[in-house]
Amino acid sequence: MNIFLRKPKGFYDVYLRSPASDKTNTHYCPGCGHGIIHKLIAQAIEDFDIKDRTIMISPVGCSVFVYYYFDTGNVQVAHGRAPAVATGLKRANPDSIVISYQGDGDLAAIGGNNIMQAANRGENITVFFVNNAIYGMTGGQMAPTTMIGQKTMTSPYGRNIYNEGYPLKVVELLATFEATTYLERVSIMDAASINKARNAVRKAIQCQIDNKGFSLVEILSTCPSNWKMSPVEAKKWIKTDMITYFTPHVTKDKINERESHKVEKIRLNSEETKSKLDLPEKRDLVKIDMSSVKEKYKNPRIKIAGFGGQGVLILGNMLAIAGMEEGFNVTWLPSYGPEMRGGTANCHVRIDEKPIGAPSVAKADVLIAMNKPSLEKFEKEEYLESGALLIYNTTLIDIEPSRKDVDIIAIPATKMADDMGDLKVANMIIIGAYMEKTKLINEEALERALQTGVKRKNLMDLNKKAIKAGMDFVKNLK
Amino acid sequence: MPKIEIDANHCKGCGLCIDACPKKVIVFSEDINKLGYHPATPKNEGCIGCGICFYTCPEPESITVYKEDKSA
| A146-186 per-position pLDDT tens digit | 999 999 999 999 999 999 999 999 999 999 999 999 999 99
Region of A316 (left: φ > 0; alpha: ψ -120 to 50; beta: rest) is alpha
Co-location of A347 and A294 in the same domain: yes
Burial of A98 (0-12, 13-18, 19+ CB in 10 A): buried
Co-location of A101 and A233 in the same domain: yes
Q: Does a structural domain hold residue A301?
A: yes
Region of A165 (left: φ > 0; alpha: ψ -120 to 50; beta: rest) is left
Whether residues A7 and B60 touch (CB distance < 8 A) is answered with: yes
Interface test with A, best of B26, B55, B66, B67 (most A CBs within 10 A): B55
Co-location of A334 and A227 in the same domain: no
Q: Does a structural domain hold residue A207?
A: yes
Whether residues A42 and B49 touch (CB distance < 8 A) is answered with: no
> What is the residue type of A165?
G
- The span from the CA of A132 to the CA of A220, in Å, is 6
Co-location of A236 and A375 in the same domain: no
Residues of chain B with Cβ-Cβ distance to A7 below 8 Å are: 60-61, 64
Residues of chain A with Cβ-Cβ distance to B67 below 8 Å are: 1-2, 4
Range of A50's domain? Answer: 33-253
Whether residues B66 and A35 touch (CB distance < 8 A) is answered with: no
Co-location of A62 and A211 in the same domain: yes
> Structural domain tally of chain A?
2
Whether residues B16 and A235 touch (CB distance < 8 A) is answered with: yes
The CATH number that applies at residue A62 is 3.40.50.970
pLDDT tops 90 at residue A359 = yes
Q: Does B59 touch chain A (CB under 8 A)?
A: yes
Whether residues B58 and A191 touch (CB distance < 8 A) is answered with: no
Q: How far is B6 from chain A (nearest CA, A)?
A: 11
- At A342 the pLDDT is 62
Q: Does a structural domain hold residue A4?
A: no
Q: How far is A203 from chain B (nearest CA, A)?
A: 18
Whether residues A25 and B54 touch (CB distance < 8 A) is answered with: no
pLDDT tops 90 at residue A271 = no
- At B16 the pLDDT is 96
Whether residues B57 and A35 touch (CB distance < 8 A) is answered with: yes
Co-location of A201 and A305 in the same domain: no
Interface test with B, best of A7, A27, A62, A69 (most B CBs within 10 A): A7
- At A341 the pLDDT is 62
Co-location of A247 and A296 in the same domain: no
Range A275-292 average pLDDT: 83
Whether residues A34 and B51 touch (CB distance < 8 A) is answered with: no
- The span from the CA of A63 to the CA of A69, in Å, is 10
Q: Which of A225, A253, A281 is the last residue of a domain?
A: A253
Co-location of A233 and A358 in the same domain: no
Confidence of residue A266 (pLDDT cuts 50, 70, 90): low
Nearest-by-Cβ selection for B19 from A24, A33, A232: A232
Q: Does a structural domain hold residue A88?
A: yes
Q: Does B51 touch chain A (CB under 8 A)?
A: yes
Q: Which of A224, A253, A282 is the last residue of a domain?
A: A253
The CATH number that applies at residue A399 is 3.40.920.10
Q: What is the pLDDT of residues A189-210, one digit of tens each?
A: 999 999 999 999 999 999 999 9
Q: Is the Cα torsion angle A233, A236, A238, A244 positive or negative in sign?
A: negative
Residues of chain A with Cβ-Cβ distance to B38 below 8 Å are: none
A21, closest residue in chain B (CA to CA):
B35
Confidence of residue A339 (pLDDT cuts 50, 70, 90): low
Residues of chain B with Cβ-Cβ distance to A34 below 8 Å are: 58
- Mean pLDDT of each 10-residue bin along chain B, 72 residues long: 93 96 96 92 92 96 89 56
User: What is the pLDDT of chain A when averaged over all its residues?
Assistant: 93
Whether residues A29 and B12 touch (CB distance < 8 A) is answered with: yes
Torsion of CA B48, B52, B58, B62, to 10 degrees: 10
Residues of chain B with Cβ-Cβ distance to A231 below 8 Å are: 14-16
Range A339-353 average pLDDT: 83
Q: Which of A253, A279, A311 is the last residue of a domain?
A: A253
Whether residues B15 and A31 touch (CB distance < 8 A) is answered with: yes
A–B CB contacts, 8 A cutoff, strictly below? 98
- The span from the CA of B66 to the CA of A191, in Å, is 19
Is A469 strand, coil or helix? helix
Co-location of A454 and A381 in the same domain: yes
Burial of B20 (0-12, 13-18, 19+ CB in 10 A): buried
- At B71 the pLDDT is 61
Nearest-by-Cβ selection for A5 from B12, B51, B61: B51
Q: What is the pLDDT of residues A414-430, one digit of tens each?
A: 999 999 999 899 999 99
Nearest-by-Cβ selection for A4 from B37, B58, B67: B67
B3, closest residue in chain A (CA to CA):
A1
Nearest-CA neighbor of A409 among A440, A437, A429?
A437
Q: What is the pLDDT of residues A213-232, one digit of tens each?
A: 999 999 999 999 999 999 99
- The span from the CA of A45 to the CA of A48, in Å, is 5
Q: Does a structural domain hold residue A271?
A: no
Co-location of A306 and A183 in the same domain: no
Co-location of A206 and A306 in the same domain: no
Task: Please check whether residue A317 is in contact with residue A332, taking contact to mean a CB–CB distance below 8 angstroms.
Answer: yes
Q: Does B10 touch chain A (CB under 8 A)?
A: yes
Q: Does a structural domain hold residue A51?
A: yes
- At A453 the pLDDT is 81
Co-location of A247 and A298 in the same domain: no
- Other beta carbons within 10 angstroms of residue A220's beta carbon come to 26
Q: Does a structural domain hold residue A40?
A: yes
Q: How far is B31 from chain A (nearest CA, A)?
A: 17
Q: Does B52 touch chain A (CB under 8 A)?
A: yes
The edge-to-edge listing of strands for the beta sheet with A215-220 is A73-76, A54-58, A97-103, A126-131, A215-220, A182-187, A249-253
Confidence of residue A345 (pLDDT cuts 50, 70, 90): confident
Residues 205-234 in A contacting B (C-alpha not used; CB under 8 Å): 224, 230-232
Q: Does a structural domain hold residue A105?
A: yes
Q: Does A68 touch chain B (CB under 8 A)?
A: no
Length of chain B in terms of residues written: 72
> What is the residue type of B20?
A
Q: Does B44 touch chain A (CB under 8 A)?
A: no
Q: How far is B46 from chain A (nearest CA, A)?
A: 16
Domains of chain B (ranges; CATH) run 3-66 (3.30.70.20)
